A and B are shown apart, each in its own frame.
Chain A
Amino acid sequence: AQTVTQSQPEMSVQEAETVTLSCTYDTSESDYYLFWYKQPPSRQMILVIRQEAYKQQNATENRFSVNFQKAAKSFSLKISDSQLGDAAMYFCAYRSAPGTGANSKLTFGKGITLSVRP
Chain B
Amino acid sequence: DGGITQSPKYLFRKEGQNVTLSCEQNLNHDAMYWYRQDPGQGLRLIYYSQIVNDFQKGDIAEGYSVSREKKESFPLTVTSAQKNPTAFYLCASSGRTESTYNEQFFGPGTRLTVL
Q: Enumerate chain A interface residues (CB-CB to B < 8 A).
A: 6, 9, 33, 35, 42-47, 50, 52, 91, 95, 98, 103-106, 108-111
Within 8 A of A (CB), among B51-66: 56, 58
Chain A residues with Cβ below 8 Å from B105 are 47
**Whose C-beta in chain A lies nearest to the C-beta of B109?**
A43
| B42 close to A (CB within 8 Å) | yes
**Bound Cα distance A95, B100 (Å):** 13
**Bound Cα distance A9, B41 (Å):** 11
Other contacts beyond A35-B103, A105-B58: 17, CB < 8 A: A42-B108, A43-B88, A43-B108, A46-B106, A50-B101, A91-B42, A91-B43, A95-B102, A98-B96, A103-B50, A104-B31, A104-B102, A105-B33, A106-B45, A108-B35, A109-B42, A110-B42
Chain B residues with Cβ below 8 Å from A104 are 31, 48, 50, 94, 102
Q: Which secondary structure characterizes the binding site on chain B?
A: strand
**Bound Cα distance A103, B94 (Å):** 12
Interface size, B (range): 20 to 34
| B2 close to A (CB within 8 Å) | no
* Mask: chain B, 84-115; 1 = CB below 8 Å from A; 0 = not: 00001010101010100111111011000000
Partner of A110, one of B40, B103, B106: B40
Are the C-beta atoms of A44 and B108 separated by less than 8 Å? yes
26 A-B contact pairs sorted by A residue (CB < 8 Å)? A35-B103, A42-B108, A43-B88, A43-B108, A44-B108, A44-B109, A45-B90, A45-B92, A45-B106, A46-B106, A47-B103, A47-B105, A52-B101, A95-B102, A98-B96, A98-B98, A98-B102, A103-B48, A105-B45, A108-B35, A108-B42, A108-B43, A110-B40, A110-B41, A110-B42, A111-B42
Chain B residues with Cβ below 8 Å from A50 are 101, 103
